[in-house]
Every structure is written in structure tokens, then in C-alpha cells.
Structure 1
Amino acid sequence: MNAPVRLAVIYYSATGHCAEIAREIAETAEKAGAEARLLGLAERPAERAATPEDVEWADAVVFGTPTRFGNVSAQLKQFIDGLGGLWGRGALADKVYSGFVTTSTHHGGHESTLLALYTSIHHFGGVIVAPGYTDPVKFADGNPYGTSHATVKGTVPVGDQTRDAARHQARRVVRVAAALKKGWTG
């Protein structure tokens, strides 16, 4: 019997929107058979604080961030920058990675933030598993790079469209990670 996929959902959430999406991804991953760790960053993590050891433990990592001027938040970037030791040992390679984002406006950098995040993953030697347009829910949220939600300056709560996209992304990450894990160990 194969061991379950180990998924770390690592996020920074300034207003709680990223935290909601992170919970949706972790819960869906567990329903799909993964062992999930929900891990916050920075000042007041809602869950246990993420550490580099969590990334090393994981078969798959989903990063979440609010956008900052079309880029990854400083809090998540600082965490990623702290993974240099693992990178130097090759411990970040061959894992599945994906990302999600929130913005305060509709065109506030959803795609550019995820593309910036994925630049680090390329350096890791990671396998990026974006949701693409692989399910009708992705045509509704319109972002093939990852789940994204516009809060419109905090007035739009995380709703069904975002939750559906997050659930699809979580299931896809677990499915691809399981296939890779089976292929490498099975």
C-alpha cells in the first residue's frame, strides 16, 4: 500500500481571505486521501507556523499569498528565501508545487503574482501543477495559474466560485503528486 501524499499548505494572510482558501485546500486534500499540514506565516499565524522542515517533509506544497503590487508578499518571499539550505542539498527538487493568491482589486496582479512565485519553483527544480483550464470551474474564475480571489478592498468574501476553484486545485495537486510518488517509489 502506498503512503498518502504529504501536502503542506503554506500561506500568509493579512485579512483572513488567504487563510480561508488555505483551509479549503487543506480540507479538500485530506478528503482526497492526503495528509495535510495547514501552516501560517508571519506575525500571527492562524495555524502552526511553517518551517523549512515542513517543506522538506512534504511531497507537495501549495503556497498562498496576497498580492503586493503584482508580486508575492514580503512575508512569503522571506520564507521562500529561507529555503536556501534545502535548495543547496537538492531537497526542494522533484516535489509538486502550486499557488493561490488574493488581491484587493479585480486586476490587481493575480497572474503576475503567481508567475513570480513560480519563478522560485523553477529554481527549486520543482514540478508546477497549476490548475490550467482542466475543469469548468476554472473558466468561471478565469485564472489557469492558480486559484485567485479579488476581495475588492475587503468587501467581497470568499465565495463558491473561489472555493470551487480551490477544491479543484487541491484535488489536482494531490492526484499528480500521488502519481509522481508512485512512479518514484512504486
Structure 2
Amino acid sequence: MSEPVKVAVVYYSSTGSTHALAEAVAEGAEKAGAEVRLLRVAELAPAEAIASNEAWQKHHEATQDVPVATPADMEWADAVVFGTPTRFGNVASQLKQFLDTLGGLWAQGKLADKVYSGFVSTATPHGGRESTLLALYNSVHHFGGVLVTPGYTDPIQFATGTPYGPSHHDAQGAIPISDETRESARYTGRRVTQVAARLKAGRAALDA
């Protein structure tokens, strides 16, 4: 019996929306048969900044038990799904800093040929959800990764309209994540796992 696909869900979340999406992605991957690691990246903001925002402080304290991602997790994974809030239409510095630590693995070719995808949350309706995911995917291209977005490959994607990856507009915490968006995130986890499983099986057949 072949070993399960290994999926790392690597995210940054300040007040909880991206964390909730990460949990849904992980759930979808697990239900598709993957071995999943749910991992946050290290916080870079000073304690004073976190304490100045009650929601940020509360979420920071509530997620201390979530393991912090390391380059070793990237090497372990067959597939990686990154999550980030948008910052001025771009990837949050906390996730970007983690990506910038991966030069050693990149130089050895150990980030290539893995499956990658992403998800995002924003404060405003048109606050850069698509631009943030497209910016995130620049790193995937440099890795030599296999980009697997949800596209419009499932009916839930026509309900959410986010072919680049699951996304949520939270209006500074005022809007909860919809059932459709959670299902889109679960679907992304399933799709990433299924495509990675096919690639893994194909490699095993070629190596046999």
C-alpha cells in the first residue's frame, strides 16, 4: 500500500480569518487521505503592536500551540498550501520572511516538483485578494513547483468566484466566513491532495 500524500498548510494570521481558512484547507486534505501538518509562520510584529488590537492579541494567544513552520516541513511535504492576509495587495511580511528562509532548499532543488496552492483574506471587498495570490505564486514559479489552483473545477467555485484560491473579505472582523468559502477551502485541500497523489503515483511507477 502506498504511503499517503503529505500536505503542509503554512499560513500567517493576525486576527483569525486566515487561520480559519487554513483549518478548512487542512480538513479537506485530510478527508482526501492526506497526512497534514497545519503550521503557522513566526510572528514578526512587536508585542506592543499585537497588544494594541484586542482581536490580534486574543488570536495570538489562542494559537500558541500551533507548530511554527520550518524549512524541514517544506522538505517533508509533497504539497504545500500557503495562506496569508493581504498587505497593500501583497503577501504579509511574516509569510514572506518564511519564504525568504528557503533559499537553501531552493538551491538544492528540494522545492521543485511539489504541488503548491494558496488562500487569502482581506479587510475590504477589493483589497487585493487576487493580486496577493498572484504575488504569492511568483515564489512557486521560482521554486519550480506545480501550481494547482481550484479554478472552476467544482460547482462551489462558481458560488465563490475565486479561481485563484479561496478568499474571504472580513471587514475588520465584522463578516464571518461563509459556508461557501469554507467549502471552497476544503475543496482546495482535496484538489491539491488528489493532484499530488497522481503525481506521486506517476513518479513511483516511473521509478519501479
TM-score (norm 2): 0.87
Give the drift of 1:123: 0.3
Distance in 1 (alpha carbons) for counterparts of 2:160 and 2:133: 15
* Partner SS for 1:48: coil
Q: Describe how 1:1-186 pairs up with structure 2 within 5 A.
A: 1-43=1-43, 44=60, 46=64, 47-186=66-205
Identity %: 64
Deviation at 1:42, TM superposition (A): 2.0
Contact 2:156 2:180 in 1 (8 A): yes
SS in 1 for 2:167: strand
The 2-side partners of 1:128 and 1:118 are apart by 8
CA distance in 2, matches of 1:36, 1:140: 27
Worse-superposed segment, 40-49 or 109-118: 40-49
Q: Distance in 2 between matches of 1:152 and 1:136?
A: 26
Cα distance between partner residues in 1 of 2:180 and 2:127: 18
Post-superposition shift, 1:106? 0.7
Residue identity matched to 2:180: Q
Q: What are the ranges of 5 or more consecutive residues in structure 1 without an aligned counterpart? A: none
Aligned equivalents of 1:144 and 1:125: distance in 2? 21
Q: Name the CA distance, whole Å, in 1 between partners of 2:154 and 2:29.
A: 17
- Distance, in Å, in 2 between the alignment partners of 1:30 and 1:168 is 11
Farther off after superposition, 48-57 or 24-33: 24-33
CA contact (8 A) 2:42 2:69 kept: no
1:124, distance to aligned residue in structure 2 (A):
0.2
Q: Distance in 1 between matches of 2:169 and 2:200?
A: 34
Is the 2:28–2:188 contact (alpha carbons within 8 Å) kept by the matching residues of 1?
Answer: no
Q: What is the distance in 1 between the residues matched to 2:135 and 2:203?
A: 29
Deviation at 1:172, TM superposition (A): 0.5
Give the residue type in structure 1 aligned to 2:88. Answer: F
Q: How does the TM-score come out when normalised to structure 1?
A: 0.97
Larger Rg: 2
